[in-house]
């Protein structure tokens, strides 16, 4: 079995608002624990030179460690103690729903299998279901920690997290496609008359540009549909969510400024974007 990545500082899980100084102090530890759990699983699925089967085997061992961590009396496993020690504490003290953590692992498994098979997504519904497991659990876990309940809040959280996941896809087309990651659905391609060969060759045709523009518009609509959640989250955490929302919308602005040519280049936020995001956050 492929050995897991070594313990190291983790600072880049794109679907996760990092536990910054804006978060309530008493929630920073459990948020960081969830973050490190997700980031390490992502690294197992995506980093290094392991084969797909080795990645799947390591994730299965990781899942067993998660199952053990859900038992407050169990000893944290020796393989990832820096992940499952803090996570076990967070699960015990905050009663985290374990299924949401398993959903994240299901999404990473799906990513490995799709990449291995050079397979994409047939329909928009299939892609949305992937987001339900790859992104939406993060928002629901945070709502659980914040004590925010109710179906409207859950739906708004799902809309924001799905939007963040989709924005990440449309931002990263130029780097994901060469790595075998392919998220533009067959259904959307057919609707815009774009061949899979054009996408895989990263040909920025007029129809491909219209396809990416439509995907970006859909992600923006999802983000705006969920943005009312910022008024349900109390205190500084609500302000962090405002910045998360504005960060996603700002990336969409960058994609638009590139005339949706993300098959060829990846837009990035610059330092001068943050004052814009902060100003807009004040007016959500």
DSSP 41-73: HHHHHHSSS--HHHHHHHHHHHHHHHHHHTSTT
Check: CB of residue 35 under 8 Å from CB of residue 13: yes
Looking at residue 89, what is its pLDDT? 96
Per-residue model confidence (pLDDT) at position 77: 66
Phi, psi of 283 (to 5 degrees): -115, 15
| Fold designation for 121-284 | Farnesyl Diphosphate Synthase (1.10.600)
Q: Is 40 left (phi over 0), alpha (psi -120 to 50) or beta?
A: alpha
Closest CA to 216 of 176, 257, 178, 244: 257
Q: What is the pLDDT of residue 5?
A: 34
- What is the model's pTM? 0.90
Residues of the chain with CATH 1.10.600.10: 121-284
The two structure tokens encoding residue 89 = 């504490």
- pLDDT at position 234: 83
* 194: CB partners within 8 A, 6+ apart: 184, 205, 207, 208, 211
138: closest CA among 10, 13, 281, 232? 13
Per-residue pLDDT of the chain (284 residues; tens, 9 = 90+): 333 333 333 344 455 554 455 678 889 999 999 999 999 999 999 988 999 999 999 999 999 999 999 998 887 766 899 999 999 999 999 999 999 999 999 999 999 999 999 999 999 999 999 999 999 999 999 999 999 999 999 999 999 999 999 999 999 999 999 998 989 999 999 999 999 999 999 999 999 999 999 999 999 999 999 999 999 998 888 988 999 999 999 999 999 999 999 999 999 989 999 899 999 999 88
């Amino acid at each position: 079995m492929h050995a897991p990545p070594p313990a190291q500082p983790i600072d880049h899980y794109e679907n996760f608002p990092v536990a910054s100084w804006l978060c309530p102090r008493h929630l920073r530890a459990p948020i960081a624990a969830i973050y490190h759990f997700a980031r390490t699983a992502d690294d197992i699925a995506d980093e290094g030179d392991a084969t797909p089967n080795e990645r799947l085997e390591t994730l299965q061992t990781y899942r067993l460690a998660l199952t053990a961590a859900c038992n407050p009396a169990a000893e944290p496993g020796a393989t990832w103690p820096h992940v499952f020690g803090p996570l076990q504490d967070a699960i015990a003290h905050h009663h985290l729903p374990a299924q949401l953590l398993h959903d994240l692992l299901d999404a990473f498994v799906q990513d490995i299998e799709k990449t291995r098979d050079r397979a994409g997504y047939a329909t928009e519904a299939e892609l949305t279901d992937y987001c339900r497991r790859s992104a939406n659990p993060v928002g629901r876990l945070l709502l659980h920690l914040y004590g925010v309940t109710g179906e409207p809040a859950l739906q708004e959280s799902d809309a924001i997290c799905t939007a963040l996941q989709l924005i990440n896809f449309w931002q990263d087309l130029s780097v994901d496609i060469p790595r075998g990651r392919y998220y533009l659905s067959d259904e959307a391609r057919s609707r815009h008359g774009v061949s899979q060969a054009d996408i895989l060759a990263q040909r920025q045709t007029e129809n491909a540009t219209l396809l990416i523009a439509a995907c970006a518009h859909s992600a923006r609509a999802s983000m705006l549909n969920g943005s009312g959640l910022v008024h349900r989250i109390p205190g500084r955490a609500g302000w962090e969510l405002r910045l998360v929302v504005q960060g996603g919308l700002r990336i969409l602005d960058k994609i638009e400024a590139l005339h949706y040519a993300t098959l060829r280049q990846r837009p990035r936020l610059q330092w001068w974007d943050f004052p814009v995001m902060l100003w807009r956050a004040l007016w959500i």
